[in-house]
């Protein structure tokens, strides 16, 4: 299981472009395979990665995730290919539906027919990226464009779809390179996500999909305190239906219960359990209540990354 860092907490707390780029560069120096950022209102993550590409040389740069409602798939394809050229073909494009309350509040667009929305979105996005040409007419998303004249050195970035329910997992397996998760623990991955994803990929004749698991992580000798801090910081996730369903599947009251928290041995075991459950990658969101906890967490994750397959 490849080990990466998710720096989205910095986005949420208003980090500058310079800070985000340095965080990605530090993750590369510390030996991590990948770096992930979520798209919020500001900054634009693909622009961050265009800049981070010049400050790094090998680390995968992944979006976790870009909400689809806010960008036409042709616009996203153009942005992704430009960023791919800027970062030397190290971009992985994670996309997702986001959530009804957030979408309807932000852009005042009804959150309707999400499965059809995503199927049509991918029907435009995928050929635009892979073939640089698309001609699709749908009921929600349509597109007709030739993208072959620019960013010619850019390869089509892998696409991951945030998927937890059966319809999204079917689309992810059949039409993308895998899924990127948040707050899904080993039980949910092993029992629900990985089998459904693999079955859909196999039926579509696609390679084995990636399963990028994302959870809060902290090496600490005060696990109860840290879990309570995580519950408080991430409390809004427990109220969103899709996350509530995966928390319930793990028997978790809140995000703190699925977080990877404890002493070094406990954290190592939890990471091994995620790999055994079917996670191909782990995107760690580092938590801590003291500087020593952040240092211990980064140190252990770096050690695991150095021996990861």
In this predicted structure, what is the pLDDT of residue 297? 98
Q: pLDDT class for 296, splitting at 50, 70, 90?
A: very high
* Closest C-alpha to 96, from 36, 180, 12, 40: 180
* pLDDT tens-digit readout, 5-46: 999 999 999 999 999 999 999 999 999 999 999 999 899 999
* Closest C-alpha to 37, from 280, 294, 285: 285
Residue 107 confidence (pLDDT) above 90: no
Give domain limits for the chain.
Answer: 169-309
Question: Is residue 59 helix, strand or coil?
Answer: coil
Chain length of the chain: 309
* Closest C-alpha to 198, from 188, 185, 183, 209: 209
Q: pLDDT class for 99, splitting at 50, 70, 90?
A: confident
When pLDDT is averaged across residues 244-260 and rounded to a whole number, the result is 96
In this predicted structure, what is the pLDDT of residue 178? 98
Question: Is residue 244 helix, strand or coil?
Answer: helix
Contact 281, 210 (CB under 8 A): yes
Mode of pairing for the β-strands spanning 143-146 and 159-161? unpaired
114 φ/ψ angles, rounded to the nearest 5 degrees: -60, -35
Residue 109 confidence (pLDDT) above 90: no
CA atoms within 13 Å, Cβ hemisphere of 185: 21
Residue 309 confidence (pLDDT) above 80: no
Distance CA 286, CA 267 (A): 12
* Closest C-alpha to 172, from 247, 97, 243: 97
In this predicted structure, what is the pLDDT of residue 68? 97
Average pLDDT value over all residues in the chain: 96
Q: pLDDT class for 100, splitting at 50, 70, 90?
A: confident
Query: Residue 293 to residues 76, 87, 214: CA-CA distances in angstroms?
Result: 38, 32, 19
Element (H, E) at 136: strand 133-136
Distance CA 298, CA 90 (A): 23
285 φ/ψ angles, rounded to the nearest 5 degrees: -100, 110
Tell me the percentage of the chain whose pLDDT exceeds 90.
92
In this predicted structure, what is the pLDDT of residue 101? 83
* pLDDT tens-digit readout, 52-84: 999 999 999 999 999 999 999 999 999 999 999
- Bigger pLDDT: 216 or 98? 216
Distance CA 68, CA 55 (A): 28
146 φ/ψ angles, rounded to the nearest 5 degrees: -115, 115
In this predicted structure, what is the pLDDT of residue 120? 98
* pLDDT tens-digit readout, 172-198: 999 999 999 999 999 999 999 999 999
Contacts 24+ apart (CB under 8 A), 72-76: 72/141, 72/143, 73/121, 73/122, 73/124, 73/125, 73/128, 73/141, 73/143, 74/124, 74/128, 74/134, 74/143, 74/145, 74/147, 76/125
When pLDDT is averaged across residues 102-114 and rounded to a whole number, the result is 86
Q: Which CATH superfamily is domain 169-309 in?
A: Luciferase-like domain (3.20.20.30)
In this predicted structure, what is the pLDDT of residue 41? 87
Give alpha helix (H) positions in 30-134.
Answer: 45-55, 73-86, 100-107, 114-130
When pLDDT is averaged across residues 144-168 and rounded to a whole number, the result is 95
When pLDDT is averaged across residues 139-154 and rounded to a whole number, the result is 94
Distance CA 297, CA 299 (A): 5
Q: pLDDT class for 104, splitting at 50, 70, 90?
A: confident
């Amino acid at each position: 299981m490849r080990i990466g860092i998710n720096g989205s907490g910095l986005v949420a707390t208003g980090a500058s472009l310079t800070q985000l780029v340095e965080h990605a560069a530090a993750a590369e120096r510390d030996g991590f395979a990948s770096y992930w950022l979520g798209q919020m209102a500001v900054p634009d993550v693909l622009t961050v990665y265009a800049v981070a590409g010049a400050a790094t040389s090998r680390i995968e740069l992944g979006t976790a995730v870009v909400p689809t409602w806010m960008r036409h798939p042709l616009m996203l394809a153009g942005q992704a290919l430009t960023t791919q050229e800027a970062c030397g073909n190290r971009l992985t494009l994670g996309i997702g539906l986001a959530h009804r309350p957030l979408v309807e509040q932000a852009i005042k667009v009804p959150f309707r027919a999400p499965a059809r929305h995503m199927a049509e979105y991918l029907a435009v996005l995928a050929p635009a990226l892979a073939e640089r040409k698309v001609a699709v007419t749908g009921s929600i998303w349509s597109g007709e464009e030739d993208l072959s004249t620019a960013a010619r050195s850019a390869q089509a970035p892998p696409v991951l779809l945030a998927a937890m329910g059966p319809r999204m997992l079917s689309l992810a397996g059949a039409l993308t390179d895998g899924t990127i998760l948040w707050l899904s623990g080993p039980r949910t991955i092993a029992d629900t996500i990985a089998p459904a994803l693999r079955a859909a990929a196999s039926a579509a004749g696609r390679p084995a999909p990636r399963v990028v698991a994302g959870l809060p992580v902290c090496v600490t000798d005060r696990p109860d305190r840290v879990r309570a801090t995580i519950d408080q910081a991430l409390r809004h996730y427990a109220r969103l239906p899709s996350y509530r369903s995966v928390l319930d599947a793990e028997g978790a009251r809140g995000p703190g219960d699925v977080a990877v928290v404890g002493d070094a041995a406990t954290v190592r075991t939890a990471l091994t359990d995620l790999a055994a459950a079917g996670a191909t990658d782990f995107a760690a969101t580092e938590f801590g209540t003291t500087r020593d906890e952040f240092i211990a967490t980064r140190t252990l994750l770096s050690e695991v990354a150095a021996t990861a397959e």
